[in-house]
Structures are given as structure tokens and as C-alpha cells.
Amino acid sequence: MKNFIHPILYIIALTACCIEIDISVPSFPNLIVHFNTTESLAQHTVSINFLGFFISALVAGPLADAYGRRPIMIIGNAILMIGAIGCVWAPTISTLLIARFVEGLGAATSAVVVFAMIAETYKGYKATQLIGLVNCVLTCLMAVSPIAGAYLNEAFGWRGSYATVAFICVISWVLLVLALPETLAIKRVLDLKVLFTNTKKLLESKIFMQTSIAPSLLYAAYLSFITSASFLYMGTFKLSMHLYALHQALIVAVFALVSLFSGTILKYIGSSKCVSLGISLSGAGTLAFLLASIVCPSVLLTTVTVSLFAIGFALIYPPIFTASLEFFPDIKGIATSLVMSKRAVIVVFATWTTGYFYNGTPRRVSVIMALTVFAALLTLIYSRKQKARPNI
């Protein structure tokens, strides 16, 4: 029964924190008008969210190791729910930013603890397969999110998308209280000295750091594009909100489809070829987007090239992420915390930089995205040449 129930609960717990960005991005132009603010501050609703995510991710894993997965998940999702409700009723842009920060604090809990639960409940191919399945379902939801956000924004204004996230948070929290099991067999005493020692061990491990940083950089590149997409498609390319949502949904749907079959692809071609293919496609897509944005920027080329990047990203993510949690099996909670907090820092920097330098054209977005992607790919290529990782 757990093989059926557990993945559903994991997906439910991750749903709100995975759609909160994509569903809110279409409302950015209306948000700017309502609060009489700037494009940069609207994009910072994403950056501040990830700042809260970073802070919480540092402690969620160790707390879950000490007090159990279930209580930390319930508390964290309660914080997420409070932040989401705060976004709905925010009277000023400053209040909205604070609520988004609180939302990020809560969202980190599910992102850290769920993957730790997967890693300790499932092993090897099963774990990779489940991560691919979870990615597929969540990215399908993410694909629908911008379309839903566009319609919600049109029908109810910018608060509509935030109200939807808040409603999902309430339902999710109730279900977790009623049905989430405890998967941690042995709890550890929260010893700050041991925590420091284990964290230092992870930070000093080249294998762990190189393995875990590449997916984080690729995710940051993706969000750099997503946070600028509404301004780019509707402002620069003059698309309607609905057409913009369809283009963004197509990019995410491509990622979802590849994620759905990532386990099968991995089984038939192996981890090494899967990662090599992912490196080639994500690199080619990013380079093509960069060249297109300089030579002949267009809606079609933007969507096609970023979709190609998304295919490569989807191939790389499951095997690399799984491998990053297997090097230190006794401290997976701390390892997952460090992976997620590091990802949040990179995302904050990438999205803040994109918002700061955005000038209404795809060129600067493509440059920042290209720099981030190629840093990730160079990390992967270097580590594989050094034979730093098994089975990659």
C-alpha cells in the first residue's frame, strides 16, 4: 500500500511550493500597476521567496533527523500555509514581500524532507524512477500553472493566483496531518557540534559538491527565464496573456514529458549516456537561445530553444540528484538540506541579477541563462573527466 500512498502524499506536500512561482508570474504586470511598483520588485517576489527557502532549508534536514520527518513536515507546511494566506491579503508590496519570505520558509520543508524520505524509503533505480515520476507530475502541474494563473488573473486580479495557492496549502496541510507516516527509523539527538562536523564533511567533499551544484545551476537558469517570461512574451513580443501562458506551459510540459520517461530512458541507455545526452541538449538549447536573441529574436525561436534546454535538464536531473544523496547515506537529512539551501542561494542570485539587468529584450536574459547553464555543464564535464562520481 505504501508504494501507492507515499508518492501521492509526497506530491501533495510538494504541489503548493512547486506551483507558487509559475502560477503567480502571469500576474506580475497587474501587480506592478496595482502597487505602482517596478518590474524589478515584482521579480523580487521570487527572489525573496527563495531567500526564505535558503534559511529554512539549512535547518529543516537536521530538525527532521532529530524530531522525525512527520512533525517537521506538518510544522513547515503550516508556515507555508500562513505565508500563502498572507500573500492573498497583502495591502502593500512590502507586505507581499514579507509574506513571500514566510512562504519560502515553509516551502523548504517539503522540498528537503520529501526527498530525504524518498532516499531512505527507496534505493537505486527505484529512487531514481520515483524522483522522475514526482518531477513529471509536478512539472505537469507547473505546465498548467501559468495558464491557470492567466485566467485567475483575468477573472480575480493578481490575488487570484495567490488565493489558489493558499487553498491548496490548507488542503495539503490537513491531509498531511491525517495521513503522513513517519519514515525515519532512528532519530538522532540534535547536537550542534555533530551538525557542524557533518556539514563540514559535506562541504569538503568534492564529489558531493560537484554532484549537487550542477542541478542547482540548471534550475536557477530555468527560473531566470521564467521570472522574465511574462514581461518578455507580453511586453516585447506583444502576445496576449493566454498565448504567453501557452508558450510557457509548452516549455514546462516538455520537461514533464521527458521526466515521465526518465526512468525508462535511464534503464535502456544508462546513467552515463543519459547525462551526456542531457549535457548536449541543454547546452545546445541555451546556445541557440543566446544566438537567436542576438541575431533574430522571435517568439517561436525563444520557445523552441528554451524547450530544448528543458529536455536536457530533465535528462540530467534525476540521476545526478539521486547520486548526490547516495554519497553520505547516514546523513541524508543534512545532505538534502545543504543541496536545497545551496540551490536557493544560486536561484536568488540568478533571479535577482536577471531582474536587475532586464531591459525589455531577450538578450540579457539569454546571457545570464547561458552563463549559468555553462557553469553547470562545465562542472559536470570536469567531474566526469576526473572520474569523481560512480555510475555517472
When the candidates are 1.20.1250.10, 1.20.1250.20, 3.40.50.300, 1.20.120.160, the CATH number that belongs to 2-179+193-385 is 1.20.1250.20
Q: How many CB atoms lie within 10 A of CB 200?
A: 10
Q: How many CB atoms lie within 10 A of CB 72?
A: 24
Q: Which three cell numbers stand for residue 265?
A: 530512458
Burial of 33 (0-12, 13-18, 19+ CB in 10 A): exposed
Instruction: Report yes or no: 52 and 101 within 8 Å, Cβ to Cβ.
Output: yes
What letter does residue 237 receive in the DSSP assignment? S
- Give CA–CA dist 311/277, Å, rounded: 10
Q: Which three cell numbers stand for residue 213?
A: 551544484
- Give CA–CA dist 147/39, Å, rounded: 21
Instruction: Report yes or no: 17 and 162 within 8 Å, Cβ to Cβ.
Output: no
If DSSP codes are grouped into helix, strand and coil, which group holds residue 238?
coil
pLDDT of residue 318: 77
Q: Which three cell numbers stand for residue 169?
A: 496549502
- Tell the residue number behind the cell numbers 524532507, with chain if given: 113
> What H or E segment, with its residue span, contains residue 139?
helix 124-156
- pLDDT 10s per residue in the chain (392 long)? 455 567 788 888 888 888 888 788 888 888 999 999 888 888 889 889 988 988 888 888 888 888 888 899 999 999 999 999 999 999 999 999 999 999 999 998 888 888 778 777 776 667 767 776 776 677 677 767 877 888 898 889 899 999 999 999 999 999 999 888 877 766 666 677 777 888 888 888 887 887 788 888 988 898 888 878 878 888 889 888 788 888 888 887 888 778 777 777 877 888 788 888 988 999 999 999 999 999 988 999 999 999 999 999 888 887 887 777 677 777 766 777 788 788 888 887 888 888 778 777 888 889 999 999 989 888 877 766 655 444 44
CA 352 to chain centre: 16
Q: What's the first-to-final CA gap in the chain, in angstroms?
A: 32
- Give CA–CA dist 208/392, Å, rounded: 13
Q: Look up residue 258 and give its amino acid.
A: V
Instruction: Report yes or no: 93 and 40 within 8 Å, Cβ to Cβ.
Output: no
What residue ranges do the domains of the chain occupy? Answer: 2-179+193-385
Q: State the helix-helix crossing angle for 93-121 and 39-67, rounded to 10 degrees.
A: 40
